[in-house]
Amino acid sequence: MSSKVSRQRVEQGFRLASLQDPQANLEEAEKWARAVRERSARQQFPRNERQNHAREMVKEADLSQWDALVIMSGDGLLYEVINGLLERPDWEEAIRTPLGILPGGSGNALAASIHHYSGASPVTSEELLVSCGFLLCKGLVSHMDMVSVHLCSSPRLFSFLSLAWGFVADVDIESEKYRHFGAVRFTIGTLVRLASLRVYKGRLAYLPATRDHNSEEALRSNTMLCKDRVPPVTLPAVRDSSFHNSCHSNNSLKVRRVESTPSRSVTKALPGPHDSLLPPLDQPLPDDWVVVPEEDFVLMLAMYQSHLAEDLLAAPEATPDDGVIHLFYVRAGISPTALLRLFLAMEKGAHLTTNCQHLVYTKVRALRLEPYSPKGIITVDGEVVEYGPVQAAVHRGLSRLITG
C-alpha cells in the first residue's frame, strides 16, 4: 500500500473453485447472493433523517450488535457518527468500532483517500464507489488519526478530515447553492470565488511535528479484521502547557510564559481523550510553538487525509495514522490565475512542486488560528463551525478505519 500501513493476512476466507462453465458460474454466484439476501433481511439498516440524527443514533445504539459501522453518504455524515461515538460514556471502546464509508455525497474526500491508500489509480464517481465496496469486503482495518477542535464558546469537536479558513471554506459552503450539480458544485464555486478573491487577516501559530516525535510514536500500524476489537492505543505522555489567547483580543498569539493554572476547560470532565497539547484558549502559547509572521491570508487548510475532494490530492504524503496535521496556507498577494494553477496541479498532487512563493506547507501536531477579519467561514470536515479563535491537536491512531 502507498500509505505504508502494514497488512495482516486474513487466515479465514472463502474457498472458491475456478469454474469455466458460464452457467455454473451463474449458479455459484446466485447461491452466494441468496445467502447474502437472506442474511440482510434480518438486519435493520438505520437511515439518517435529519441533521445530527446519525450523531444521536450512535450515542444511544448498542454497538455490540455490529462488527463495524458503514456510512453510505458524503463526509458530513461520518463527521456526525464520529462525534456521536466520542460523546458516549464508553467512548474509549466505541471509537474502536471499525468505520467504513461508501461514497454517496457530493463531498467524498475520505473515500477518495482510502482508494488512494490502496495504491490504485485515481478514480471518481461510480468507479470510486465500486472500489470502496471492494475494499470493505476485504475487511482489513487500520488505525486512523482524530483531531480535536476547540472553539471559543462551542463544545469540543472531533475531526477526521480537515479544518479550513478562507478560500477553501468559502468555496465549500458558498457552493451549497449548486449542490444539485453534484461534485461539480465545487468547480463552480471555485470559479466564482476566483473572480472575486478575498484576503483575510488573522494570526496563525503551530506546534511543529519533529522527526523525533514521528519515530518515537511510530504506530504499531496493525491491520486487523473487522470483527477484532483492538486494545486502546497508548501514546507517550506530553507535557501540559498553558498559553494566553483572548477570544476577542488581536494580540492573543504573542508568546509569553505564564503560571500554569487549572482551567475549567481543562479540568472539566468531558468524554473523549485529554488534549495534552492544547492549553485553554485564554492562555499564552508555549515557547516551542511557531508564530507565522504574516497576517494576511487567502486560505488556511489543515489536512489529515490525502484528499480534499474526489479529484483533489491535497496532502500526497498523508496516511491515515501518520500522527501529524498537514498544514497549508496561502499568503496574500497571489493572483487568481496563480491560485487556479495551484488547484489544477492539486488534482494530481503536484501543487507542492509548482514553486509557488505564496504557498507554505508544513507538518504540525497542533495549531491555533485567530481570525482578525470580522466576517468569514471556518469549516471542520466541510461543516460550518463557530467563527472565531480555533485550535486543534492530533490524536494519533485513535479510531479505526476499514481500508482494505
How far apart CA 347 and CA 316 sit, in angstroms, is 11
Cell 474457498 belongs to residue: 15
> With contact defined as beta carbons under 8 Å apart, do 299 and 168 qualify?
yes
3-state secondary structure at position 394: strand
- φ, ψ at 276 (rounded to 5°): -70, -20
Alpha-carbon distances, residue 90 vs 61, 93, 317 (angstroms): 12, 6, 33
Burial class (CB in 10 A: 0-12, 13-18, 19+), 261: exposed
Active site residue 212: no
> With contact defined as beta carbons under 8 Å apart, do 89 and 119 qualify?
no
How far apart CA 182 and CA 179 sit, in angstroms, is 5
Report long-range pairs for 335-344 (Cβ below 8 Å, ≥24 apart): 336/194, 336/195, 336/197, 339/167, 339/194, 339/197, 339/298, 340/190, 340/194, 343/190, 343/312
> With contact defined as beta carbons under 8 Å apart, do 399 and 158 qualify?
no
Q: Which of 21, 62, 75, 240 is catalytic?
A: 75
**Closest by CA position to 227, among listed 65, 113, 110:** 65
3-state secondary structure at position 75: helix
Buried b (16+ CB within 10 A) or exposed e, 104-123: ebbbbbbbbbbbbbbebebb
Cell 501543487 belongs to residue: 351
Residues annotated as catalytic (active site), given as ranges:
75
